[in-house]
Amino acid sequence: MTSTINPTSNTRSQVISTYHDHPRFICVSCSAVLALQDELISKSFSGRDGRGFLMHSATNVKLGKKEDRPLLTGVHTVADIFCMGCNDRVGWYYHKAADLSQKYKEGKYLLEREKIVKENNWKLDE
């Protein structure tokens, strides 16, 4: 669930707590759920601060301003995404790709590896 809200506004009370029994990616700063691990497309992307994960969807994020940004694979129209729990920038959303070979990214999210934690939600047998 993505919303267009001022990235600096206080949205902590709007964080959705869900996916309790599913492996997920959470915000490193506030532990808000950002995506299910099942939504992972690729771990072979680059973010601003290192590796990035391309995701089909994300939750508990808000969109920043749309802009054309030169990336490693060409110019893309993207918007930074911010965690609704703590307002940290956690990646970006691909609105549009200029190059035909990059169109598969449109409508997808890039979560920066340094901004997320993989939570497996394992259960131990007692």
17-47 residue pLDDT tens: 666 678 899 999 999 999 999 999 999 998 8
Distance CA 126, CA 113 (A): 33
Residue 121 confidence (pLDDT): 62
pLDDT per residue as tens digits for the range 103-115 = 999 999 999 999 9
- Decide: 27 and 34 in contact? Cβ < 8 Å: yes
Q: Is the pLDDT of residue 125 over 80?
A: no
Return d(Cα 51, Cα 44) in angstroms, integer.
7
What average pLDDT is seen over the chain? Answer: 87
Q: Is the predicted pLDDT of residue 1 greater than 90, yes or no?
A: no
Q: What is the mean pLDDT of residues 70-91?
A: 94
Q: Residue 3: is its pLDDT beyond 60?
A: no
The rounded distance, in Å, linking the Cα atoms of 123 and 110 is: 29
Quickly count: other Cβ atoms within 10 Å of residue 93's Cβ. Answer: 22
**8 Å CB contact between 109 and 92:** yes
Compute how many other C-beta atoms are within 10 angstroms of the C-beta atom of residue 15: 18
